[in-house]
């Protein structure tokens, strides 16, 4: 509940967890990303998926975004993360295009970035955002269980495999501890392969 921003404090933080093996975050492949993109039908669906993928935001951060938080020139947006901490995240040109089309198509005056499709128009709930994301994936040929947080893992892994430093990924995702970001270093097979070939002959 704390991870998904339903509660402000992790009430179980002081409990000692049993030691277990490290679990590598599961992410979507490039093919799966493209299949899901292709299954998007509405401007809302296209912009929502691109926003999750290009920003790596938590679902609670996406829920809290307002149109006024966006800097179109820099292709950035201010989000409020865990601990009420504000950070700036960037988004791709493809995301900018779909966001503009989506916002320009709306006739409402709601400040929220993502709103309900039915009247009365209001900020889309976290439950509904999750429902839309899962619905898009269900209509695609992707068999993987797709949910908002898996997009976050996908963003981090994609950035790493394309050469981004762990420090940049850490700041993008809003991690407090470097150890949280370090797990992605173990999950990127392609990056490990590149580094191995670079140093081993």
Q: What is the pLDDT of residue 16?
A: 65
Of these residues, 75, 82, 96, 100, which one is catalytic? 82
Question: Is the confidence at residue 141, as pLDDT, over 80?
Answer: yes
Mean pLDDT of 105-130: 96
Q: What is the DSSP letter of 1?
A: -
| 175 is a catalytic site residue | yes
Q: What is the pLDDT of residue 76?
A: 96
Question: Is the confidence at residue 196, as pLDDT, over 90?
Answer: no
Confidence of residue 179 (pLDDT cuts 50, 70, 90): confident
Of these residues, 46, 152, 153, 191, which one is catalytic? 152
| 184 is a catalytic site residue | yes
> Which has more pLDDT, 44 or 190?
44
| 96 is a catalytic site residue | no
Question: Is the confidence at residue 156, as pLDDT, over 80?
Answer: yes
Question: Is the confidence at residue 138, as pLDDT, over 80?
Answer: yes
Confidence of residue 189 (pLDDT cuts 50, 70, 90): low
Question: Is the confidence at residue 187, as pLDDT, over 70?
Answer: no
What is the chain's percent helix, strand, coil content, to nearest 5? 50, 10, 40
Instruction: Write the CATH number of the domain with boundaries 30-199.
Output: 1.10.443.10
Site of tokens 């990056």: 191
Q: What is the DSSP string of 83-142?
A: GG-EEEEE--HHHHHHHHHHHHH------BSSB-SSSSP-BPPHHHHHHHHHHHHHTSS-
| 123 is a catalytic site residue | no
Mean pLDDT of 17-44: 81
Going from N- to C-terminal start, the domains of the chain cover: 30-199
Q: What is the pLDDT of residue 109?
A: 95
């Amino acid at each position: 509940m704390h991870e998904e921003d339903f509660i402000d404090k992790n009430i179980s933080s002081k409990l000692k967890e049993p030691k277990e093996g490290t679990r590598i975050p599961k992410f979507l492949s490039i093919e799966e990303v493209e299949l899901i993109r292709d299954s998007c039908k509405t401007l809302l669906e296209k912009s929502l998926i691109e926003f999750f993928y290009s920003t790596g935001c938590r679902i609670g951060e996406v829920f809290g975004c307002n149109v006024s938080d966006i800097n179109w020139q820099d292709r950035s947006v201010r989000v409020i993360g865990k601990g009420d901490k504000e950070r700036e995240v960037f988004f791709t040109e493809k995301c900018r295009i779909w966001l503009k089309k989506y916002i320009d198509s709306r006739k409402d005056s709601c400040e929220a970035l993502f709103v309900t499709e039915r009247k009365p128009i209001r900020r889309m709930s976290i439950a509904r955002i999750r429902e839309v994301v899962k619905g898009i994936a269900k209509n695609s040929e992707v068999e993987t269980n797709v949910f908002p947080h898996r997009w976050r893992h996908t963003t981090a892994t994609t950035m790493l495999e394309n050469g981004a430093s762990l420090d940049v990924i850490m700041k993008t995702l809003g991690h407090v501890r470097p150890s949280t970001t370090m797990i992605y270093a173990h999950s990127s097979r392609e990056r490990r392969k590149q580094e191995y070939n670079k140093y081993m002959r």
